Chain A
Amino acid sequence: MSGGPRRVVITGAGTINSLGHDVGSTLAAMREGRCGIGPLELRDVERLSVQIGAQVKGYDEQAHFNRQQIALYDRFTQFTLLAARQAMAQSGISFSDEESEMSGVVLGTAGGGVNTWDENYRNVYEEGKNRVHPFVVPKLMNNAAASHVSMEYNLRGPSFTVATACSSSNHAMGLAFQMIRSGMCRAMLTGGAEAMLCFGGVKAWEGLRVMSKDACRPFSANRNGMVQGEGAAVFVFEEYEHARARGAEILAEVAGFGMTSDAADIVMPSREGGERAMRIAMRDAGLVPEQVGYINAHGTGTAANDKSECAAVAHVFGAAADDLMISSTKSMHGHLIGGTGAVELLACIMALREGVIAPTIGFELPDPECALDVVPNVAREARVEAVLSNAFAFGGLNAVLALRAA
């Protein structure tokens, strides 16, 4: 292998989220514009003022994991392991001893084992118990999922977890990309997960008053907030020559990454920060705006995000914005917080591979402050050469990935 920057490609993908328990069913739902948001089914839901969410339904942990594993795996770890299993199977990658030392796991999550925190706080505070299960700490820690994936596949290189709220997965995947491009790593399992749809997890979000009580309608003038989701998506990022040499199917190329900080406000996004992240990602990928056909938006459905994101896109793309499609798939799978960028990358891969642009569903009324082609309600067929995936987190931390067709 020659020196200099390596090219990085995606050779495997896996997911479980409210739209489906694998990539095929998730993409089918995105093509159909199906909504994964519904009434929350969880303990004490009647004490919540927000009672909707995009929950993973029909999920039986015992069908996938044994008793010992369940004692150690929080829901976010379970979701991650299932997604990783699918991604590894699709990729077909295997690791020699040397390769396993040059491969690792970088995952994003904002909350880690929130269900484990919630359940055990309930035990000690509400139920007055003075003893908790011995595995509470290894179960709830944010790096539990990354560690279990590394153990499952004997990945002995760099592994860690990134926690940058709603940008966690994009930051994780961006770092995994850079680690392969620099020659430091050969392959990385990367993406992210979130599972905070429990009483405490939803109650905390309620406090901010940015949650919708009925639907997630990004870019629609009558939008009234975000809706939480849960799940995971994991990808195999692999050095291009390595993938080619073993004849792997390449799903897309990861071409660039941009990250910036607003350095302004803990919750209000700045147009400028998102804008710079998109510019840096395109420059890093060697792309000009005319080449980018689709953006998977951060598109939370809050007034603050959607206005500032559309203004940023309009400013970066200028006249090229007329030919640009931008959609928010959060309208279907909800906001997976730290895992959201990973699930949204699936929509980017679908756009590049299949020429299908996932829609922004729930769109009812145009908003002059979001005057872009938001692919309202119905998926669209279109050939695109390159795409961006935006994530703009609380705390003003922005992370944008640029992908090209394989």
Chain B
Amino acid sequence: MDLRDKVTAIIAEQAMLEPGEVKPEHSPADLGIDSLGLVESIFAIEEAFDISVPFNANAPEESDFDISSVAAITDAVERLVQEQHASA
């Protein structure tokens, strides 16, 4: 499973949907994921990729992590994996 599929699977599980139903343009809200669900998804992403995601639930839009769509989240995870695993 590549990174894109893995992120999609995590988000789909949170939304209680099949991965095939989750499209890159969907926002978390489109998928019925609320703020608590988002915090849980980010935790799952951190665990799955062994990264630390800069995300403050008080101001998600100001966090250095774009959560506007599934595609944006995937790009951000890709970037964090590169940054945080590059030195390893």
Give the B-binding residues of A (Cβ under 8 A): 49, 207-210, 212, 223-225, 265-268, 302-304
B58 and A267 contacting across the interface, CB-CB below 8 Å: no
B36 and A223 contacting across the interface, CB-CB below 8 Å: no
Partner of B58, one of A225, A266, A268: A225
Closest to B35 in A: A268
A selection of 17 A-B contacts at a CB cut-off of 8 Å is: A49-B52, A207-B43, A209-B42, A209-B55, A210-B58, A212-B58, A224-B56, A224-B58, A224-B59, A225-B56, A225-B57, A265-B36, A266-B36, A267-B35, A267-B36, A268-B34, A303-B58
Closest to A303 in B: B58
In which size bucket is the chain B interface?
10 to 19
Closest to A226 in B: B58
Closest to A207 in B: B43
Give the A-binding residues of B (Cβ under 8 A): 34-36, 39, 42-43, 52, 55-59
- Cα distance, A268 to B39, chains bound together (Å): 13
Which residues does chain B contribute within 8 Å of A267, judged by CB atoms? 35-36
Closest to B52 in A: A49
If over half of A's interface residues share one DSSP class (helix, strand or loop), that class is named, otherwise mixed; here it is: loop
Residue among B43, B52, B57 with the highest chain A CB neighbour number at 10 A: B57
B58 and A302 contacting across the interface, CB-CB below 8 Å: yes
Partner of B39, one of A209, A223, A224, A225: A209
Which residues does chain A contribute within 8 Å of B36, judged by CB atoms? 265-268
- Cα distance, A207 to B53, chains bound together (Å): 12
Which residues does chain A contribute within 8 Å of B55, judged by CB atoms? 209
Other than A209-B56, A303-B59, give 10 A-B pairs with Cβ distance below 8 A.
A207-B39, A209-B55, A209-B57, A210-B56, A212-B58, A224-B59, A225-B57, A268-B34, A268-B36, A304-B58
Closest 5 CB pairs of A and B: A209-B57, A303-B58, A225-B58, A209-B39, A210-B57
Residue among B36, B39, B56 with the highest chain A CB neighbour number at 10 A: B56
CB distance from A78 to the nearest CB of B (A): 33
Which residues does chain B contribute within 8 Å of A265, judged by CB atoms? 36
Which residues does chain A contribute within 8 Å of B59, judged by CB atoms? 224, 303
- Cα distance, A267 to B38, chains bound together (Å): 13
- Cα distance, A183 to B73, chains bound together (Å): 60
